[in-house]
Amino acid sequence: MPQYLLSVYGPAEREPYGDYGSKEAMLEAFAATGAFNDKLVADGHFVFANGLAEATTATVVDGQGDEPVLTDGPYVEAKEYIGGFWVIEAPDLDVALKLAAEGSKACGGKVEVRPFQTEDDVKKMLGE
């Protein structure tokens, strides 16, 4: 079954309560996201989900040379970065988009839906 990455974006540096404005709002979003995750599991869509630490805590590693080169900070300079994501399974995009809408409402952010490559895509690239 096709898999999709649902990612949620947020600012590079977070406010005291994440991006939520208040402790209550944050707890509410956590509870709603938890309930949404439970539903994903119960309906067989859940593959993985988690929230990420701030983008400023990232390190870029280039291991292509003799010695790995390390750079502080995220790979791309941007105003907003991935703050968390789900990996889900869904039969088609319509189902994935519906789930993304529910996830967006639960976590209080916009969600980007992106399909994973399938085995067929890779075969096609290899010309098989």
Partner 1 sequence: MDDAITRAHRQEWARVVATLTRRFGDLGLAEDAAAEAFATAVERWPSDGVPANPGAWLTTTGSRKAIDRIRRESRRDDKHEEARLLFDEPPRDVGAVDDDRLRLIFTCCHPALSPEARVALTLRMVGGLTMPEIARAFLVPEPTMGQRITRAKAKIKAAHIPYRVPEAEDLPGRVDGVLAVLFLVFNEGYLATGPDTDPVRHDLTVEAIRLTRLVRELAPSGEVTGLLALMLLTQARAAARVSVTGELVTLDEQDRGAWDRDLIDEGHALVRQCLADVAAGGPPPGRYQLLAAINAVHTDARDARDTDWSQITTLYDRLVRLDPSPVVALNRAIAVAQVDGPDVALALVDRLPLDGYHAFHATRADLLRRLGRSADARDAYDRAIALAGNTAETAYLTRRRDQLALQGDRSAGS
Interface with partner 1 (CB under 8 A), residue from 93, 101, 110, 122: 93
Minimum distance from CB of 43 to partner 1 (Å)? Answer: 16
Is 11 near partner 1 (CB under 8 A)? no
47 touches partner 1 (CB under 8 A): no
Under DSSP, the state recorded for 27 is H
The residues near 106 (Cβ < 8 Å, ≥ 6 apart) are 29, 32, 33, 35, 36
Q: Please select the residue that binds partner 1; options are 91, 101, 110, 122, rule is CB under 8 A.
A: 91
C-alpha dist (Å) from residue 25 to 15, 22, 29, 101: 13, 5, 6, 19
CA distance 38 to 89: 14
Cβ proximity to partner 1: between 56 and 117 the closer is: 117
Is 128 a binding residue for partner 1 by CB under 8 A? The answer is yes
**Footprint on this chain of partner 1 (rule: CB under 8 A):** 2, 91-94, 96-97, 113-115, 117, 121, 128
